[in-house]
Amino acid sequence: AQSVTQLGSHVSVSEGALVLLRCNYSSSVPPYLFWYVQYPNQGLQLLLKYTSAATLVKGINGFEAEFKKSETSFHLTKPSAHMSDAAEYFCAVSGFGGAQKLVFGQGTRLTINP
């Protein structure tokens, strides 16, 4: 069965600092991996996705993530945090059981300090 673990329910960084949000997955089949962002009182928006092409995936708003099969990881990074990046971030995996179903991690709330 697929599962996703996000290390750290809450991450706080200073404006301009590196953002690193950790995601590890478990999958018995080649996974498709996603990062979504949720701003307050809104739905989830797709940041980026990995679908077995390039292992380094670039997304919107300057975010990128690297798929590392040996580490079963798909960590999200951004070189310089902006106040507008404050939100909750979800890692998700699909590729099993058809219907493009997703299994989500628990989420990481990112706070940006001025």
| Interaction site with another protein (CB under 8 A) | 4, 9, 32, 34, 36, 41-46, 49-52, 90, 94-95, 98-102, 104-107
Cβ–Cβ contacts within 10 Å for residue 95, how many? 20
Query: In the complex with another protein, which residue's Cβ is closer, 50 or 81?
Result: 50
Cβ at position 44, least distance to another protein in Å? 4
Phi-psi label, residue 14: left if phi above 0, alpha if psi -120 to 50, beta otherwise: beta
- Least separation in angstroms between CB 101 and another protein: 6
Q: Identify which of residues 85 and 95 has a Cβ nearer to another protein in the complex.
A: 95
Strand order in the sheet with 56-58: 3-7, 19-26, 73-78, 64-68, 56-58
Quote the least distance from Cβ 107 to another protein, whole Å: 5
38's CB contacts (< 8 A; 6+ apart) are 44, 45, 87, 88, 89, 90, 107
Output 105 or 112, the one with its CB closest to another protein: 105
Instruction: Write down the least CB distance from residue 96 to another protein, Å.
Output: 11
